[in-house]
Homo-oligomer: A and B are copies of this chain.
Amino acid sequence: MPFSRISRNLRGAFNGCRCYLSIRDHNHRFLLSQTPIDSTQQVMRSLIFSKGIPAFYSSRYQIHHQSSSLVEDELDPFSLVADELLHIGNKLREMVVAEVPKLASAAEYFFKMGVEGKRFRPTVLLLMSTALNLPIPPVLPPMELGGATRNDLRSRQQRIAEITEMIHVASLLHDDVLDDAVTRRGRGSLNFVMGNKLAVLAGDFLLSRACVTLASLKNTEVVSLLAKVVEHLVTGEVMQMTTTSDQRCSMEYYMEKTYYKTASLISNSCKAIAILAGQTTEVAVLAFEYGKNLVCEFVDLRFIGLAFQLIDDVLDFTGTSASLGKGSLSDIQHGIVTAPILFAMEEFPQLRTIVEEGFEKTENVNIALDYLGKSRGIQKTRELAVKHATLAAEAIDSLPESDDEDVRKSRKALVELTQIVITRTK
């Protein structure tokens, strides 16, 4: 297999993207460059995104943005809510340790100080809480706010962030069991370290705890919304586990699975934040759209990263395909049939046979990567990411105007999170 050709093709595809993309008529432009890392890039690099969200921290693909409205007033979205994140982190830890001490070593595994990641989801939800700190419409039925004062409201919105994190970690624990994963967030996965049983039970515990916390909000609409999310996570996992060869080649199926497995949680949680604040349906839908498109953007970026990673893995080996270990092949099988390959298939229909055959045969991996290199698959995926970023930012821009400084700052930070383009610094 001509590895040099893969390399050349892909680098070609990559270089083809070194230009400004101006598909938005807002102030946000996307620059693909190899310029030095700026402060947002630093922030994003330090993010340890988990499954479904790009693992930038361990990736070689750095992030850079340039947005005229933000350059002069750079915001670190994470530092804006740092204190609250700390508070939520402490609450999650306390909850696990205090209620079922024996499960502490298992469930605390994910909430331990220093290894819990940057809390991407809580950050988005807390920023959204402030961003929607609008005057509450007077027609709001009193029940839904439960007579909440502003402080009460914030603590209820914080609970949404906690619930989201618990559901997320519960699903990771069970997914790792289902995938026989051996690592997670740079260390041994819980199932690998403590066994499948404890991982299943810890997941069940977090899920049950999330249900109890959710019920304590006493808002039937929010309960329905997040109960549906739990079902979506399972549905997405089932779709993944039972994909037919036809479905593997379907962009529609891929998009649907991505929504269920990854985007539903954050988009519906964003919507829940709006509902708790007593906002209108229109505002709730904008919050939902922001969450959905932000996550879809990150998934796209993750899969671009994954495509490059696969190429690198192949290149790192000395030319013998056989030296790709079982683990790598399994990653490829899980990861390869994503947006870049699906786009490549549109250009090269003969790739379909390879994808349908699967990647048990190592030569199929090489052939698929070769086609990927020749195609516009990676570029089209990048364009999709940009489109998702644009839609997410537009959702924020469409919110009712506010003169409140905190509201404006939080909205800027949410837009900041969308201003991400990947580039290859290496």
Contact = CB atoms under 8 A, between A and B. Distances in A.
A197 B215 contact: no
Contacts of A218: 220, 224
Nearest to A237: B201
Given A223-B223, A230-B211, A200 B200 contact: yes
A212 interface: yes
A201 B234 contact: yes
A220 B211 contact: no
A192 interface: no
A227 B204 contact: no
A235 interface: yes
A234 B212 CA distance: 13
A44 interface: no
B100 A241 contact: no
Contacts of A205: 231, 234-235, 238
Interface in A359-383: none
Given A102-B242, A143-B143, A233 B215 contact: no
Nearest to A218: B220
A214 B234 contact: no
A280 to B, nearest CB: 21
A197 B178 CA distance: 5
Interface in A196-221: 196-197, 200-201, 204-205, 207-209, 211-212, 214-216, 218-220
Contacts of A231: 205, 208-209, 211-212
A204 B174 contact: yes
A224 B178 CA distance: 30
Contacts of A227: 208, 211-212, 214-215
B197 A177 contact: yes
Determine which residue in A211, A218, A224 has the highest number of CB atoms from chain B within 10 A of its CB, and name it: A211
A247 to B, nearest CB: 10
Contacts of A178: 197, 200-201
Contacts of A242: 102-103
Interface of A: 100, 102-103, 143, 174, 177-178, 196-197, 200-201, 204-205, 207-209, 211-212, 214-216, 218-220, 223-224, 227-228, 230-231, 233-235, 237-239, 241-242
Given A205-B238, A207-B207, 13 more contacts: A100-B235, A102-B239, A103-B238, A174-B200, A177-B200, A178-B197, A197-B241, A201-B237, A201-B238, A208-B230, A211-B227, A215-B224, A215-B228
17 contacts: A100-B238, A102-B242, A174-B201, A174-B204, A196-B196, A201-B238, A204-B233, A204-B234, A205-B238, A207-B230, A208-B227, A208-B231, A211-B227, A212-B224, A215-B224, A220-B220, A223-B223
